[in-house]
Chains A and B, each alone.
Chain A
Amino acid sequence: MIQLEDVWRIFRVGEGEVHALKGVTVTIERGEHVALVGPSGSGKSTLLHIVGCLDRPTRGRYVLEGREVGSLSEEERSLLRRHRIGFVFQFFHLLPRLTAQGNVELPMLFAGTPPEERRERAATALEAVGLSHRATHRPDQLSGGERQRVAIARAVVMDPAMLLADEPTGNLDRASAGEVMELIERMNARGLTLVVVTHDPAIAERAKRVIRMDDGELVRGST
């Protein structure tokens, strides 16, 4: 489903260049649960952004569900993100002016889903993360764990093919982290491809496959 072949990502910083990814080749199958680990600056977030079509490889091929992403226009990549990819971030990134319900409806807003259907699907997604009773609360009225669960509801409400999580528990206490991971894994059990970036060994251990990165390269033998 996800195929990366000799992917390089080079950033220009002032006069010099930073090689964030140096020839990464990896394949992730449909429905897998993968943990992406490594020290800070090892390129794991960059890799996740490329997989999520937020960023483009400088060199190399990225094929997602049989389509070469590098050749797609910005417009088409937006549509891929909208329909095929769900993101969960460390800092939740909920819009503070919207209620939990409103935040979950956001992707459907830009997809032009009719209001009636939007409300229904958001309610269903909130129910799935156990937050129906918090639907009318704003983010600042929710705990950290609750906020991340709202973010997960938002990530899956468009029924994507994969869920990409960047340090989803990095800002949570142990108990909340456990709940959030359970939720994400439940989505994975239903067939959603799951890629989790983390540097928490306990979180990484829960994955069926661990990809280690260091200095922009995959650590040999980790895949």
Chain B
Amino acid sequence: MRFWDLLAFAAGALRGHKLRTALSVAGVAAGISAVVTLTALGEGARRYVVDQFAALGSNLLVVLPGKVETTGGSPPFGGVTHDLTIDDYRAIAKLDRVRRSAPMAVATDTVHFRDRGRAVPVLGTTADFAAVRRLAIGSGEFLPPGDPDQGGNEIVLGVTVAQELFRNENPLGQVVRVGPWRFRVVGVLAPRGRSLTFNMDDVVLIPVRTAMRVFNRPSLFRILVDVRMRDEMRLTRRDVEKLMAERHRVEDVTVITQDALLSAFSSILNALTLALVGIASVSLAVAGVGIMNVMLVSVTERRAEIGLLKALGAQDRQVLAAFLAEAVLLAIGGGVAGLALGAGAIRAFVGIYPSFPASPPLWAVAAALGLSLAVGVGFGVWPARRATRLDPVAALAKR
């Protein structure tokens, strides 16, 4: 039997029961579209996080005070932790494998301009912060380079802060207040949006020494380290740990890499995606049982036809192929319809949340079609086998 004849024969049989065919196809379509849509959303969430990390700078090490113990046990001398100081930052910045580094002191305070005020995170840092965090300047310039211990009175505003405080005025050169301290606006950041920790549109930046005075804090919040070579992340991390252990005479800082965070997030989101797909697969299994049911009914109804085909010399494997082809056509039809449905759902979702990078990965599309084929074959085999086992004499006896 020719392949196209087989398909045409199966399609002809399906056309005979339009409603039943349509319902089976709809069942598979629902399952497949659920799989495709949920995969796209899960994959989108993963990509969103990865993009966020990439925006942060992927060669980044973060040094924070205090040892995060994963093995338990208390540090010596009852857990005394040394402050993270500007001198520590200087030492780290001098390491060979470090391209540049930036200290960070943070507190929330209210920034005033005339009678307008806005409570925002105030970041104390140095000129290199812009390069380390890949920040772009919208107008004016960033904090001036120079000795980090030189506490200047420059301030750089996030774009939202600038708009809120100055409306349509040009903020450059104006004086704002943070508590009793007065600062001169030297620049405004380009719009950036949220990047995990801070919304960089809604912060202000001042020189680090000044910040520590303003906040009245002896310790830095973080030291950010930009590593020269991506391959040397681990080595650099060890360098930093060793350096800090020497300086503090005890291991009392934690150095985390982007990759560690990223892979943790990534694996969590992958697990989430798989869970979603698993749930969606249940509906696909239900659709498969639906196909099986329809095919069983079809086999029972068409006993006479099966008997006739055998009397005309159709071999068992041809009868099997004919009925299997019907099940597969139902499933593939459902698969294609489900892909179209899923694509529509994803497009609608992206229409509502344009920043979310939801698109079904290619493997998911291929897997959806493969899966529908497998559903057709898997759930079609048993009814088809029943058709071949039919005794032609008994099948022909009834009208």
Please list the residues of chain A having a beta carbon within 8 angstroms of any beta carbon in chain B.
49, 52, 54-55, 74-75, 78-83, 85, 87, 89, 91, 93, 95-98, 106-107, 109-112, 114-115, 154, 158
- Distance in Å from the Cβ of B17 to the closest Cβ of chain A? 10
By the criterion CB–CB under 8 Å, are B313 and A82 in contact?
yes
Question: With A91-B399, A93-B308, A95-B308 in contact, do A110 and B314 touch (Cβ < 8 Å)?
Answer: yes
Contact of A74 among B305, B316, B396 (CB under 8 A): B316
Known: A97-B12, A97-B15. Is A110-B309 also a contact (CB below 8 A)?
yes
Residue of B nearest to A98 (CB): B12
Q: Are A111 and B311 in contact (CB under 8 A)?
A: no
- Which of A55, A114, A158 sits near B313, CB closer than 8 Å? A158
> Which residue of the partner chain B has the closest CB to A52?
B311
Contacts of B393 in A (CB 8 A): 49, 54-55
10 more CB-based (< 8 A) A-B contacts, given A85-B313, A98-B12, A158-B313: A54-B311, A78-B313, A79-B315, A81-B313, A82-B312, A96-B16, A106-B312, A109-B9, A111-B313, A112-B2
Q: Which residues of A contact B5 (CB under 8 A)?
A: 109, 112, 115
Q: Which residues of A contact B153 (CB under 8 A)?
A: none
- Among A85, A89, A154, the most chain B Cβ lie within 10 Å of the Cβ of A89
Query: What is the size category of the interface that chain B forms with chain A?
Result: 20 to 34
Q: B305, A95: Cβ atoms under 8 Å?
A: yes
CB-CB nearest 9 A-B residue pairs: A82-B313, A78-B315, A81-B313, A110-B314, A107-B312, A93-B308, A97-B16, A87-B311, A54-B392
Q: A54-B392, A91-B399, A93-B396 in contact; A109/B1 too (CB < 8 A)?
A: yes
Cα A5 to Cα B183 with chains together (Å): 117
Tell me how far the C-beta of B338 lies from the nearest C-beta in chain A, rounded to whole angstroms.
27
A114 to B309, CA, bound (A): 19
Question: Nearest CB to that of A86 among chain B residues?
Answer: B312
Q: How far is the CA of A54 from the CA of B311 in the complex (A)?
A: 7
Can you offer 25 A-B residue contacts whose CB atoms are under 8 A?
A: A49-B393, A52-B311, A54-B310, A54-B392, A54-B393, A74-B315, A74-B316, A78-B316, A79-B315, A81-B313, A82-B313, A87-B312, A93-B396, A97-B12, A97-B13, A98-B12, A106-B312, A107-B313, A109-B5, A109-B9, A110-B312, A110-B314, A112-B5, A115-B5, A154-B312
CB distance from A198 to the nearest CB of B (A): 17
When distances are taken between beta carbons in the complex, the residues of chain B under 8 Å from A93 are 304-305, 307-308, 311, 396
B318 adjacent to chain A (CB < 8 Å): yes
| Bound CA span A54–B396, Å | 10
Complex Cα–Cα for A111 and B1 (A): 6
Contacts of B309 in A (CB 8 A): 106, 110
Please determine whether B1 and A75 come into contact, CB atoms closer than 8 angstroms. Answer: no
Closest to A111 in B: B313
Which residues from chain A contact B13 at a C-beta distance below 8 Å? 97
Q: Find chain B residues with CB under 8 A from A79 CB.
A: 313, 315
Near A by CB (< 8 A), chain B positions 249-303 give none
Question: In the complex, A78→B13 CA distance in Å?
Answer: 22
A61, chain B: closest CB distance, angstroms: 20
A125 to chain B, nearest CB (A): 13
A154 CA / B399 CA spacing, docked (Å): 19
Q: Which residues of A contact B313 (CB under 8 A)?
A: 78-83, 85, 107, 110-111, 158
Q: Which of A89, A93, A158 has the most CB of B within 10 A?
A: A93
B9: A residues at CB distance < 8 A:
109
B308: chain A residues at CB < 8 Å are 93, 95
Which residues on the B side are within 8 Å of A49 (C-beta)?
393
CB neighbors of A among B340-399 (8 A): 392-393, 396, 399
| B5, B15, B307, B310, most chain A CB atoms within 10 A | B5
- Distance (whole angstroms) from the CB of B206 to the closest CB of chain A: 82
Known: A93-B304, A95-B305, A112-B2. A78 touches B310 (CB 8 A): yes
**A96 surroundings in chain B (CB, below 8 A):** 16
Structural contact, B305 and A81, CB atoms closer than 8 A = no
A45 to chain B, nearest CB (A): 8
- Give A114 to B314 CA distance when docked, in angstroms: 16
CB neighbours (8 Å) of A110 from chain B are 1, 309, 312-315, 318
CB A36 to nearest CB in B, in angstroms, measures 16
